[in-house]
Structure 1
Amino acid sequence: MSKSTSISSFSSEKLKSMLHDMMLIRKFEETLKKLYQQGKIHGTMHLCIGQEATAVGACVPLTKEDKITSTHRGHGHSIAKGTDVKKMMAELLGKESGYCKGKGGSMHIADLDVGNLGANGIVAAGLPLGTGAALTSKMKDLGYVVLCFFGDGATNEGAFHEALNLASVWDLPVIFFCENNLYGMSGSVKEMTNIENIADRGAAYGIPGVIVDGNNIIEVVESTTKAVERARSGKGPTLIEAKTYRWEGHSRSDARKYRTRDEEKEWKKQRDPISLFKERLIAENVLTEEEFNELDKKVQTQMDEAIEFAENSQDPSLETLTTDIYA
């Protein structure tokens, strides 16, 4: 992790809170993987292990009133925005106490009370939704900004270009946050995009395009803070490209044949965002090894409580089979 970015503007409590949220996301995802292997979670999941710094770092500058739109790989975004892990776990286990009453599963978690407008199973679908929410904020003078998460694969969809163009033309208060984890569902982003940086596409729409190290949480926070301030002051959108890496496959059925195990080991060993942040905080006398261990115990307790809550919750009754659906 580069030491050029200062942490002095953050309190020690805030820095530890950021580390806690990253650890909570990691623990949540690892727990889901185990539950899936035990047959307790059905369907599929898209885990964000390795990308914890992008989710937490991007949400740090946001207020509770600010909004986010998420993706199919959205558990980290939800946790970073303050969504309840107990209700998230219940949803993934198909329980009535879940956010969608057990009917939505992994890709449909939303919590309007904390500004989480929801995950989405359609690639790039969050971009027009986020742009629409930003238009609402501007037209009604509501003052909130919208941060729209999406992956590198979404940038080749028409919705990406339409959203950026409209947001630019109308100076909408939206931040387009691309988590470029270097791979789509079945291949490298280099095979699918003939430019060096996705952020370069911002120039086509007359908006700033910013590249950040997505595994350096402080860098993510500082870049997103500038974009949020720009949006809130009426100057319009920013495109941020955070370069990161997903440790797991695209989904639970992905054998990851498009990349080597040596590459994965190198990212885990050298670029783990949690280890990098932990080491930096210890080096700068913000955190001790004992405090880190206490944080680890805390997030494990949160997971144990989430599992207990979910497993003790009721399954949806047959009488509700046709409620809360469109057809």
Structure 2
Amino acid sequence: MPDVVAEYTEQLIDQLREMILIREFETRVSSLFEDNELPGFVHLCLGQEAVATGACWAIDDDDFITSTHRGHGHSIAKGLEPDRMMAELFGKETGYCGGKSGSMHIADVDQGMLGANGIVGAGPSLAAGAGLSIDQSDDDRVCLSFFGEGAMAEGVVHESMNLAGVRDLPVVFICENNQYGEMTPAEDQHNVDGFEARGEAYGMPAETIDGMSVHEVYEATAEAVERARNGGGPSLIICETYRYHGHYEGDPMTYRTEEEVEQWRERDPITTLEKSLVESNNLDESDVEEIRAVASERIDEAVEFARDSDYPDEQAAFEGVYTEEI
């Protein structure tokens, strides 16, 4: 890590800021949900911040991503604003989708965020469609598609990977293996020795990396993105990571031990990077505290914005339902 820190110091510091902002957003959402301020359900990515941050650092503003039901980190990493995201979670009209999407369906097509999705495995099909559109328009954009290892058992994921492989589409499939599909361990869901076989079956490069290392995620994604931009087709990246909270907020988590969670926390992507930057004298403890304070203040503002925003008018339920007649 010392050589990496020396070469990528400023980038790593900025990535640390982003991961801390995601962590602060998710921690606050957890508290707000517990206090019954948020409707519906929320699924948090605490512990998985390095995947969203590292991957989205490897793409440009006009590239695309598709997300999952656990998509707050992906959204922030793609450039969505915490205030409008928080307003969406509150069901307010100032949210990205006018308060209609809630946590699991946040989208901002203008920002290249083609949507979080409550349907497991639905994102890769949207990404394949985006890749096909890019291919037909003959530009050099790419699409990242985030999905969990549980989605690897969904037929639509295989169909999407097959289409991308056959057509050499510019799609990077990013599997966040957080070890559990809802409450079931990954090894109880898939009879394969490593998920690389899934990508190789469809003729694309595939690799498994440390999803707790923001730099390793960045490097692997950057290589796959460059290949896709140059006409080299899709790739599959499996990021080994872990969610600290349950599948959903309120999940009793009887399917795993506290010792297991603690072992993964020892590899925390944020504290590990903080330690490396401090030990290399690129940051001191006061700098880290300042980064955390700025992130906390930013989320304070987002919560205040959401609380002060209005709920949508009842008539808004009929808006955005149908496309305009051509």
Gaps of 5+ in 1: none
| 1:158 and 2:158 correspond | no
Cα deviation code 1:193-244 (max 9, x no counterpart): 1123112211111111111000011111111110001000001011000000
Report the CA distance between 1:186 and its aligned residue.
1.8
Q: For 1:170, give the aligned amino acid.
A: R
Change over 3 Å in CA distance of 1:229–1:162 after alignment to 2: same
Report the CA distance between 1:261 and its aligned residue.
1.4
Cα deviation code 1:150-194 (max 9, x no counterpart): 000100000111111111111110100000000011210000011
Report the CA distance between 1:267 and its aligned residue.
1.4
Alignment of 1:1-327 (within 5 A): 3=1, 6-10=4-8, 12-268=9-265, 270-325=266-321
Q: Distance in 2 between matches of 1:129 and 1:89?
A: 24
Alpha carbons 2:65, 2:127 under 8 Å: kept:
yes
Q: For 2:204, give the aligned amino acid.
A: I
**SS in structure 2 of the partner of residue 108 of structure 1:** coil
Report the CA distance between 1:322 and its aligned residue.
2.5
Alpha carbons 1:50, 1:247 under 8 Å: kept:
yes
Q: Distance in 1 between matches of 2:315 and 2:165?
A: 47
**SS in structure 2 of the partner of residue 309 of structure 1:** helix
Q: Distance in 2 between matches of 1:319 and 1:161?
A: 40
Cα deviation code 1:45-64 (max 9, x no counterpart): 11000000001001111100
Cα deviation code 1:286-306 (max 9, x no counterpart): 221111111001001101110
Gaps of 5+ in 2: none
Report the CA distance between 1:4 and its aligned residue.
8.1
What percent identity do the matched residue pairs reach? 47
Report the CA distance between 1:321 and its aligned residue.
2.8
TM-score when normalising by structure 1: 0.96
Between the two proteins, the alignment pairs up a number of residues equal to 323
Q: For 2:275, give the aligned amino acid.
A: E
Q: Distance in 2 between matches of 1:44 and 1:316?
A: 20
Q: For 2:145, give the aligned amino acid.
A: C
Alpha carbons 1:7, 1:218 under 8 Å: kept:
no
Across the aligned residues of Structure 1 and Structure 2, the Cα RMSD in angstroms comes to 1.4
Alpha carbons 2:140, 2:230 under 8 Å: kept:
no
Q: Distance in 1 between matches of 2:2 and 2:204?
A: 26
Alpha carbons 2:45, 2:71 under 8 Å: kept:
yes
Q: Distance in 2 between matches of 1:306 and 1:321?
A: 24
Alpha carbons 2:12, 2:215 under 8 Å: kept:
no
**SS in structure 1 of the partner of residue 60 of structure 2:** coil
Change over 3 Å in CA distance of 1:253–1:325 after alignment to 2: farther
Cα deviation code 1:229-275 (max 9, x no counterpart): 1000001011000000000111124211111111112212x111100
